[in-house]
Amino acid sequence: MSLAKVIGNNIHALMKKQNVKIKQLADLIGVTRQTMTKYLEGEVIIDSEKLFKIAEFFGKPLDYFLENKHEEMAFYSGLMF
């Protein structure tokens, strides 16, 4: 999977989780809705300055967006084997 696609998928997942609209994020980083859609679909790689703004918005480190898979922490009561 390309880096542009990985970044786009990670941004999209956070948007969905926090109910953030494409237009809201596009306005935040100063691009059109169409350009934001291209970032999310992995058609165009987002530049580091824009990615930094998105990382700050979501409260995530930059490297979060470069990882292919994220697993949520799960808390279990009882013993784990």
How much of the chain exceeds pLDDT 70, in percent?
A: 85
Tell me the per-residue pLDDT of 39-74, one tens digit each, with 9 for 90 and over: 999 999 999 999 999 999 999 999 999 998 765 544
pLDDT number for residue 69: 77
- The fold of 3-80 is 434 Repressor (Amino-terminal Domain) (1.10.260)
Q: What is the domain partition of the chain in residue ranges?
A: 3-80
Q: Give per-residue pLDDT as tens, 9-48.
A: 999 999 999 999 999 999 999 999 999 999 999 999 999 9
- How far apart, in whole angstroms, are the C-alpha atoms of residue 17 and residue 33? 19
